């Protein structure tokens, strides 16, 4: 019987999932089992008793994305080795990795590995190229090497838990409140692609396309999938943030691993 590799992820724009799949290539002899936490209704009840687990989440303002935390509520392990993987948009992962490591320990997993990868920032576009196009081929190679290292460590029976950067208590979560992407009504064809992609059910499709500000997390999944590029940011607070990122976060950062 094949050993099992559980991939558990919250990935609104697909970036985190792409990295996890690259890591999984380091486990060629494992059966892959996917657990998607991205959809609004995703609340899986899973108790994992064997194999290895890859947990992947995006970083929002230096913390684990809050919806991801809530959707992990019913996932537990029986001392199963796991890797904590966070994906950030080339600024900093701050306390997200130590937070995810703690979450996994509290759920009955043994976080034998941790990694911080860079993915295209949610706000990135051709005019604001913050980590645009990442993960790229070089990132994929790093991810594969990381996967192989995890597999090797587990095969040896090494359950040592590595230290990771971050602060406890965690930084206060400071996210923009009430902000949503806007819709260019002249471009929008009301195809519904944005609604299918939204991880929180925030999209409202009627005569015009709007977003519920109480549900929107500004992940920009709607903009990434829009075939007409009709979704855009027009909020002063967010626009200022984007300019800061362009000015200060353009230098390439590389993945970091802890084993």
pLDDT confidence of residue 175: 81
Tell me the whole-structure pTM to 2 decimals: 0.96
Residue 236 and residue 159 share a domain = no
Tell me, yes or no, whether 175 lies in a domain: no
What's the pLDDT tens digit per position in 27-77?
A: 999 999 999 999 999 999 999 999 999 999 999 999 999 999 999 999 999
The yes-or-no verdict on residue 115 having pLDDT over 90 is yes
Domain encompassing residue 114: 3-170
> Same structural domain for residues 157 and 36?
yes
pLDDT at 23: 99
User: Mean pLDDT in the chain?
Assistant: 97
Is residue 122 located within the same domain as residue 232? no
At 176, the pLDDT band (50, 70, 90 cuts) reads confident
Q: Give the whole-angstrom CA distance, residue 66 versus residue 217.
A: 9
Residue 164 sits in the same domain as residue 210: no
Asked whether residue 93 falls in the same domain as residue 198, the answer is: no
Q: What is the crossing angle of helices 137-155 and 15-24, to 10°?
A: 50
Domain boundary among 104, 139, 170: 170
Query: Where does the pLDDT of residue 83 fall: very low under 50, low under 70, confident under 90, or very high at 90 and above?
Result: very high
Residues 199, 160, single domain; the answer is no
In a domain, 120, yes or no: yes
pLDDT score of 160 more than 90: yes
Cis peptide bond N-terminal to 135, omega within 30: yes
Number of domains in the chain: 2
pLDDT of residue 177: 82
Residue 93, pLDDT > 90, answer: yes
- Is 56 part of a structural domain of the chain? yes
Same domain (yes/no): 162, 191: no
Q: Looking at residue 163, what is its pLDDT?
A: 98
Calpha distance 147→9 (Å, rounded): 16
**For residue 122, is it within any domain?**
yes
């Amino acid at each position: 019987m094949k050993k099992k590799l559980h991939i558990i992820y919250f990935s609104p724009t697909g970036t985190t999932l792409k990295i996890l799949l690259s890591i999984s290539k380091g486990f060629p002899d494992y059966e892959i089992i996917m657990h998607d936490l991205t959809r609004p209704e995703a609340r899986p009840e899973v108790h994992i008793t064997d194999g290895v687990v890859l947990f992947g989440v995006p970083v929002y303002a230096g913390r684990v994305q809050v919806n991801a935390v809530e959707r992990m509520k019913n996932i537990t392990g029986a001392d199963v080795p796991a890797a904590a993987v966070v994906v950030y948009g080339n600024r900093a992962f701050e306390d997200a990795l130590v937070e995810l490591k703690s979450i996994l320990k509290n759920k009955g997993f043994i976080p034998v590995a941790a990694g911080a990868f860079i993915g295209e920032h949610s706000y990135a576009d051709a005019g604001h190229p913050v980590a645009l196009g990442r993960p790229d081929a070089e990132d994929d190679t790093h991810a594969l090497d990381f996967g192989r290292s995890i597999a090797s460590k587990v095969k040896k029976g090494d359950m040592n838990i590595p230290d990771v950067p971050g602060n406890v208590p965690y930084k206060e979560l400071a996210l923009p409140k009430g902000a949503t992407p806007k819709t260019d009504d002249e471009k929008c064809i009301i195809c519904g692609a944005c609604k299918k992609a939204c991880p929180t059910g925030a999209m409202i499709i009627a005569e015009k396309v709007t977003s519920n500000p109480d549900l929107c997390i500004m992940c920009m999944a709607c903009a990434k999938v829009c075939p007409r590029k009709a979704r855009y940011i027009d909020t002063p607070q967010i626009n200022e943030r984007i300019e800061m990122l362009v000015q200060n976060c353009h230098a390439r950062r590389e993945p970091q691993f802890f084993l």
